[in-house]
Amino acid sequence: MVKHHLFWPLTVLGALLLFNLVYSPAFFRIELRNGQMYGSLIDILNFGAPLILVAIGMTLVIATKGIDLSVGSVVAISGAIACLLISKGADQNAFGLVMLAVAVALALSVALGIWNGLLVSVFGIQPIIATLILMVAGRGVAQLISGGQIITVNSETYNYIGAGALGSLPFAIYVVLIVLLVASLLTRRTALGMFIESVGGNPTASRLAGIRSRAVMFAVYIFCGLCAGVAGLLLSSNVSSADGNNAGLWYELDAILAVVIGGTSLNGGRFYLMGTVIGALIIQTLTTTIYIIGVRPEITLVVKAFVVLIVCLVQSEAFRKTLVQRFKMRKYPLEQEVKRHA
């Protein structure tokens, strides 16, 4: 059981939840108001949705031995363009207008994914540099789109995407489920998953085995861009505004962290989508927990970093081994003692 790739991520998540159970039992309370569920757990799923989406895309990129630093900027661009289009509309609530805005935002995200894919797979630029370009430039593009201002929209239709409810659950959760389902089907029902793992594991051997590694790389960067685009829509529609400066800021780092916590190696190869989802949930739970227990704002980041450090150590096999060895060494004299007395 310990060998299962979800064991440690689930253990950490469980430990975090357990801490909350002891510290603030209200954490687990879920209320039904106007037919909609409210509570910390629901909040975690709802507010964690954008991060989960970005991290799912990031997982596939990392599995090919790549990385995408531009996701945070794509989040900002996608939200900004959608809000801009809607804010210019005569009737901001018009279903057609909102759909158009969503479509344009997603198309733009795909185009940005193509840009990254082009730099990485055709021009052979190292992924970290290639995507760094869009990370920096993209932030500027987002500010251009929003004219340096925060664009606010007044559209209930748009607001539904990030803040609405379907049944009694937030709509965002369904969006995550759909993207997760699509990603799983795409990678596990088609051969794409095997190709991704193969290209990430050994690009030369993969090429010689006849895999079109360029196409595979293109695909993952496009998918990653698309995921970031959807995340941008969720974020901006949740607050009915787009902030080119701050939307999606540092998302790339949280996403990479979620992927790593989820068990996918930065060296590429095997990837675990469910692991990533749990990794993202751990990060979101941690953030929520820090708010709930009222850590002073100026030290929240330090506390977060500390917990992340522990999570990473627990997951490190080398660290666990050292720990076990230390433990054994300590026991050793005792055993001899017992023998001597026997």
Q: How far is the CB of 211 from other proteins (least distance, A)?
A: 5
Q: Please report whether residue 198 would count as binding other proteins according to CB under 8 A.
A: yes
23 vs 238: CA distance, rounded Å: 29
Q: Which residue from 197, 243, 252, 254 is in contact with other proteins, where contact means CB under 8 A?
A: 197
The DSSP secondary-structure symbol of 269 reads S
Q: Please report whether residue 204 would count as binding other proteins according to CB under 8 A.
A: yes
What value, to the nearest 5°, has the Cα angle with vertex 228 and ends 188 and 263? 50
DSSP alpha helices (H): ranges in 32-94?
40-63, 71-88
Site string for other proteins, 242-271 (x = CB under 8 A): ---------------------------xx-
Window of 176-184, 199-207, 241-249, 295-303 that interacts with other proteins by CB under 8 A: 199-207
341 vs 130: CA distance, rounded Å: 67
Neighbours of 80 (CB within 10 A): 28
Site string for other proteins, 149-188 (x = CB under 8 A): ----------------------------------------
Asked if 50 and 281 touch (Cβ cutoff 8 Å), the reply is no
Asked if 196 and 187 touch (Cβ cutoff 8 Å), the reply is yes
Q: Total residues at the site for other proteins (CB under 8 A)?
A: 21
Q: How far is the CB of 323 from other proteins (least distance, A)?
A: 15
Where does residue 163 rank: exposed (0-12), middle (13-18), buried (19+ CB within 10 A)?
middle
Q: Where are the beta strands (DSSP E) in the chain?
A: 31-33, 36-38, 150-152, 165-166, 169-170, 241-243
Q: Please report whether residue 208 would count as binding other proteins according to CB under 8 A.
A: yes
Q: Please report whether residue 201 would count as binding other proteins according to CB under 8 A.
A: yes
Q: Please report whether residue 207 would count as binding other proteins according to CB under 8 A.
A: yes
Q: Please report whether residue 206 would count as binding other proteins according to CB under 8 A.
A: yes
- Among residues 84, 119, 115, which one has the least CA distance to residue 226? 115
Q: How far is the CB of 263 from other proteins (least distance, A)?
A: 13
Q: Which residue from 143, 160, 182, 212 is in contact with other proteins, where contact means CB under 8 A?
A: 212
Nearer to other proteins, 29 or 188 (CB): 188
Q: Which residues here bind other proteins, judged by CB under 8 A?
A: 189-192, 194-195, 197-198, 201-202, 204-212, 269-270
